[in-house]
Structure 1
Amino acid sequence: MRYSDDIIEEVRMKNDIVDVVSQYVKLNKRGSTYFGLCPFHNEKTPSFSVTPAKQMYYCFGCGAGGNVFNFVMEYENYTFGEALKHLADRAGVQLPKIEYSGEAKKKAERRAALLEINKLAAGYFYYQLRRESGRQAHEYLTGRGLSEETIRKFGLGYSDKYSDDLYKYLKSKNYSDELLRDSGLFNVDERRGMYDKFWNRVIFPIMDVNNRVIGFGGRVMGDGKPKYLNSPETTIFDKSRNLYGLNVARTTRKNYLILCEGYMDVISMHQAGFTNAVASLGTALTSGHASLLKRYTQEVLLLYDSDDAGVRAALRAIPILREAGVSSRVVNLKPHKDPDEFIKALGAEEFEKRLEQAMDSFMFRVHMAEREFPMEEPQGQNRFFERCAQMLLELSDELERNLYIEAIVKDYRSSGISVENLKKRVGALAMKGTPAEQRIQPKPVGAGQQKKKESAAEKAQKLMLTWLVTYPGIFDTVEKYIQPSDFVVPLYRQVAEMLYQQHRDGDVNPARLMNAFIDSEEQREVSSLFNATIHLETPEEQNRAFSDAVIRIKDESLKERNRTWDPTDIQGLQELVKAKKELEELGRKRQQLHISFE
């Protein structure tokens, strides 16, 4: 049993998709549609669209799309039930107590089981740390200056040196090998079978913002490799959209968050009273991380290691945060390498001062760029100010740009640069035009999979469905020639049947239609059916495109009927002959196929 369609639709209608998506993604309005950077893949040029009229989103880069439920499910890694409850709470809708059945229930139960396995594993690791066999790990943590309270607060633990301890423990709880394999806690090979992924390591449980254990990090105590070992991505663990320590930091009273590199950095800062520290999980900062941070703060202090790798990480993070609408500053820890080392050496008060002295991120980029040029030479200075002009052109706000021009001139006045000089350089560069940003392509669908090339017939069917959703007024014309049975791709036919029924009911509503699809791949495919594009400017081009689509859809439908025709079916043969004649007649009269996309 599932929630009624009326309840689902009430929740959807009370959560405007632009309002919901704006909590995660910075959107800019262009005409009747909003655009922003896609939170589901890294990109520099916005290809993520939100259409209020359809109450749907779609990314033309990676193909992610759907209604408000799909967005929350995809972004938060929620099941449909969890997304429904989240949005119902947001809109103040009281959900009846009800149980799911079928596919939705199965997915929810599997997800709940994986969360329970991780919770049990975290408890097991915590227990092992307090046994005699965990003494070395406990001494390692206390030797790093961690108190018992901090160890308990972060649930730190130890994985025993035997590589099947956790496996035996969880098997005693009657979990299947298939489920344990999907948890990310175990490796499998032909010789050894299934064995613990983490063994003889200090364990750092990773929690989501709702304090649920979703993964683990393990640190070797000696010189073994790798130094840190992290859980792989699973149904419940997405590294690009979770941050270590955010479950605690999100409740901070500070008006900014501190972004650093590792588990120990976060833990040592929290112990020293800086409870607004978070870290990415063994990956570079992504747009997903930035969107997550945006939900909890307007400003981030970047606190990466002071070595070259840390500088590069900061330089990569700054534009990603800016695109998400988060301002940033960069903290200088020199002469110390990381916050843990700094706090141990100089204390919390000095660390607080460094935070207060954090450098504006744009000026940090300027000063780092200076290193690339021989500033003692006129040519080097000239190339440096050319780079500054390029960076200044990234700022669309004129007042902001002028303020940074003045700040650069103030710092480099000894090189002979003036405000007028730099403004002229920026203006000249703007007139020339700057090279288009290199687009970061999304990963192909599936590991090692090539996306199947779309046929002309599939394109025609997609266009027709997009037109029917975008311009419902054309239904009466389309129905004269095309019925849902003419859509030969099964999913397209299913969607067409639903749209035609909505038309008969007097309300073409693609966002409501999406409620019927639970599978994520189906959701993406259905979304693409409502976002097919073709450039049409004149009424003549519209009519030509419409007649081409009608004839191609009918032709493909006839071919499909011919392929599946039973040679013993004489009546079927007669119907095929009649349909072929009608198609030929339609081709001769294609000029009469008029349409108005208004």
Structure 2
Amino acid sequence: MSSKLIPDEYIERIRRHFDIVDVVGQFVPLKKSGRNFFGLCPFHSEKTPSFSVSPDKQIYHCFGCGAGGDVIRFIMDIESLDFREAVKYLANEAGMNIPQLDDTTSENVQDSYRNKVFQLYDLTTKLYHYLLLETEHGKNALNYLIKRGFSRDIIEKFNIGYSPSAWDTLQNFLTKRGFSLELIKQAGLVIETDEGRTYDRFRNRIIFPIFDAQGRVIAFGGRVLDDGHPKYLNSPETNIFNKSRTLYNLHLAKQEIRKRRQAILFEGYIDTISAWKAGVYNGVATLGTSLTVEQAKIIKRYADEVVISYDSDLAGQQATYRAIDILLPVGLSVKIAQIPQGLDPDDYIDKYGAESFKSNILGNSITATAFKLQYIRKDFNLKDEAGRLQYLTSALSIISELNHAIEREHYLKGLAEEFNLSFPSLKSDLDQIYYNKRNKKEYTKDNLTNEWNNIINNGNHVGRHKTLHPAYYNAEKYLIYLMMNSREIAEKVRQEIGSDFHVEDFSVLAAYLYSYYGKDYDSNISHFISTIEDKKYMQLATELALLEINENVTEEELNDYIFQVKKHFLELEIRKKQKEQLIAERNNDFAKSLQIGKEIIELRNRLKWGKK
């Protein structure tokens, strides 16, 4: 969303209202180090903090993945919002009135369409909710929910509703209120047959609205009341609903997840709501599909640990095993809640109560490694010697994935005791597997292309040697930093160098700075960065802004930086002349060679005396 639709004065009020350390601190545990605060980056997996927040400059930057910007950009990235949505989010947090905006501009056509769909879903939610609670149509569904332990408060909290069995209840309701049939179809609320007939997608189902992280309805899930199939039916994907990037109940649970730095992961709506009834307010669920990497990354923004609480049947355990291998690589710690065989979380809570679920199930969660060692037992006959040896080989492979020796030793001792084996022998085999895997990883790492690989390189480019840049490169980098901090320095550089930077990225940033100061803005790094529309250059600017450079540069130091840039032009010109002189000599044109030689001497004198 373009900021042109929102007055600059209002945007600046938003920025001034918030301290970026406080805002980021709601999502990332921060520790002060020197003038800045540091924490683990919420946008990529890392073990050593490379995410920096500057209270002085009101910006953040990750030296691993490059993410950076001001407080509005942070909310855009962490909450997956566009610019205007992020401004609204912060305005609501600040209790500030949001100005009326022009929704008719060509830039806002897509946003206007999204708003219509949100209105459509909101009205649909209210209709289904009303039909469940206030009409005869929803009586059977309401009785079913009450028998399942759903109070009216819970039904209202989650906006649960009911869709009647008629073919066109919703369609007629929405079209009478001015929504086009085409929009209703695009929103996935009706289905069109090959013959062109349309009918409601959800019929005779309990309806669970699906919300995005900001609490807006973006889809629906419906559960049958009879023996119909499928048992659960979700909305199709649309331009505002992507199942692989959506977690059920995140809008209600995110605050508790942030507070506890832990999320409880369920399979579906019923388990999540039952857990909420039991006082578990940090539960979220996937939407009838396996956990995705995108969902894992979203959880990582809010939590450090995930407790998986899937069903105890084979399908649930298989899904748990897959989820572990998705959650661990994004930097999350994983535990597994063990539900007794034949039960799901909802069944357990109904049978044994809320306190038992919290203390005996969630409170006794086991580690991911312990679960894996237990899970693979079904694949081997442990009464047979060959089966035991095969199991031990697989178990050692799982244990070898652990990074810490003390963890590996813990599980190894358990195997040695259970199978009455020599600990040193098992450790010898484990060490061999561990080092073979590590060497293989090192080989893979050394053969990767120079792309970002956050898991292996913790956010750094592949390569073991820090790049040594030439003097002109460092001079241009320092000049950009100083220009961001001083309008006067920017003007001096503009007069002395203009756009003649050697490094293209620095030349682009210089152009942004000239434009910024040309609008009569004072030096304000956070404000300047917010005006950069290209994300690449916004991230580069935040990186440079956090350099440890003395801002109180002397006139002599500033002139030296400028000279280093000019000097490189002279060096390039000398090289060019030397090539021309060589060609002249080869052509026996000694007069021309002599003339070029004089020009080279003049250029070298200018280098010596610091002139361009």
Fold in common (TM above 0.5): yes
Partner residue, 2:370: 363
Return the match for 2:527 from 490, 509, 512: 512
Q: Which residue identity is paired with 2:233?
A: L
Q: Does 1:498 align with 2:512?
A: yes
Q: 1:252 to 1:59 in 2, by over 3 A?
A: closer
Partner residue, 1:266: 272
For CA contacts below 8 A with separation 6 or more, give which structure has more relative contact order: 1
Partner residue, 1:338: 344
Q: Does 1:160 align with 2:160?
A: no
| Separation in 1, partners of 2:48, 2:142 | 49
**Does the CA contact (< 8 Å) of 2:401 and 2:434 recur in 1?**
no
Partner residue, 1:391: 401
Shift of 1:262: 1.0
Partner residue, 1:170: 174
Partner residue, 2:130: 127
Return the match for 2:314 from 288, 292, 308: 308
CA offset digits 1:409-466 (Å, max 9, x no partner): 1354133556666666665556552543899x99xxxxxxxxxxxxxxxxxxxx99x9
CA offset digits 1:282-330 (Å, max 9, x no partner): 3433455456556766654321012333223223334555566654431
Shift of 1:161: 3.1
| Separation in 2, partners of 1:403, 1:345 | 36
**Does the CA contact (< 8 Å) of 1:65 and 1:528 recur in 2?**
yes
Aligned residues: 513
**Does the CA contact (< 8 Å) of 2:69 and 2:530 recur in 1?**
no
Q: 1:469 to 1:513 in 2, by over 3 A?
A: farther
**Does the CA contact (< 8 Å) of 2:373 and 2:395 recur in 1?**
no
Q: TM-score, normalised by structure 1?
A: 0.64
| Separation in 1, partners of 2:193, 2:68 | 37
| Separation in 2, partners of 1:287, 1:199 | 32
Q: Which residue identity is paired with 1:338?
A: D
| Separation in 1, partners of 2:272, 2:63 | 34
**Does the CA contact (< 8 Å) of 2:253 and 2:283 recur in 1?**
yes
**Does the CA contact (< 8 Å) of 1:469 and 1:530 recur in 2?**
no
Q: TM-score, normalised by structure 2?
A: 0.63
Partner residue, 1:457: none
CA offset digits 1:65-121 (Å, max 9, x no partner): 75442342244243534423544676xx67566333465877766555433322211
Q: Does 1:76 align with 2:79?
A: yes
Q: How does 1:91-490 map to 2 (within 5 A)?
A: 95=96, 98-101=99-102, 111-129=114-132, 131-135=135-139, 137-138=141-142, 140-141=144-145, 144=148, 146-147=150-151, 150-177=154-181, 179-181=183-185, 183-187=187-191, 191-192=195-196, 195-208=199-212, 211-234=215-238, 237-240=241-244, 242-249=246-253, 257-271=263-277, 274=280, 276-286=282-292, 289-290=295-296, 293=299, 299-318=305-324, 320-322=326-328, 327-348=333-354, 351-352=357-358, 353-371=360-378, 376-377=385-386, 379-380=389-390, 383-393=393-403, 395=404, 401-403=405-407, 405-410=409-414, 412-416=416-420, 431-432=435-436, 433-436=438-441, 483=499
The alignment partner of 2:202 has SS state of: coil
Q: Which residue identity is paired with 1:281?
A: L
The alignment partner of 1:285 has SS state of: coil
**Does the CA contact (< 8 Å) of 1:257 and 1:297 recur in 2?**
yes
Shift of 1:408: 4.1
Shift of 1:391: 2.0
Q: 1:20 to 1:276 in 2, by over 3 A?
A: closer
| Separation in 2, partners of 1:151, 1:20 | 32
Q: 1:508 to 1:231 in 2, by over 3 A?
A: farther
Shift of 1:48: 12
Q: 1:95 to 1:139 in 2, by over 3 A?
A: closer
* Segment drifting more, 409-418 vs 18-27: 18-27
CA offset digits 1:499-553 (Å, max 9, x no partner): 3334677978775345347xxxx654655786999xxxxxxxx99xx98xx99xx
**Does the CA contact (< 8 Å) of 1:163 and 1:196 recur in 2?**
yes
Q: Which residue identity is paired with 1:312?
A: Q
Q: 1:101 to 1:337 in 2, by over 3 A?
A: same
Q: Which runs of 5+ in 1 are unaligned?
A: 396-400, 443-462, 534-541, 552-584
| Separation in 1, partners of 2:430, 2:32 | 27
Q: Which residue identity is paired with 2:117?
A: L
Q: Which residue identity is paired with 1:314?
A: T
| Separation in 1, partners of 2:142, 2:68 | 47
Q: How does 1:522-537 map to 2 (within 5 A)?
A: 523-524=534-535, 527=538
Q: Which has the larger radius of gyration?
A: 2
**Does the CA contact (< 8 Å) of 1:370 and 1:384 recur in 2?**
no
CA-atom RMSD in angstroms: 5.7
Q: Which residue identity is paired with 1:158?
A: Y
**Does the CA contact (< 8 Å) of 1:2 and 1:98 recur in 2?**
no
Partner residue, 2:556: none
Q: Which residue identity is paired with 2:75?
A: V
| Separation in 2, partners of 1:184, 1:114 | 10
Shift of 1:204: 0.9
Shift of 1:124: 1.0
**Does the CA contact (< 8 Å) of 1:206 and 1:216 recur in 2?**
yes
Give the % identical residues: 32
**Does the CA contact (< 8 Å) of 2:163 and 2:205 recur in 1?**
yes
The alignment partner of 2:206 has SS state of: strand
| Separation in 2, partners of 1:516, 1:177 | 40
CA offset digits 1:543-576 (Å, max 9, x no partner): 9xx98xx99xxxxxxxxxxxxxxxxxxxxxxxxx
CA offset digits 1:233-277 (Å, max 9, x no partner): 456545455432345556779966532111122233444555554
Q: How does 1:538-577 map to 2 (within 5 A)?
A: none
The alignment partner of 1:405 has SS state of: helix
| Separation in 2, partners of 1:421, 1:20 | 53
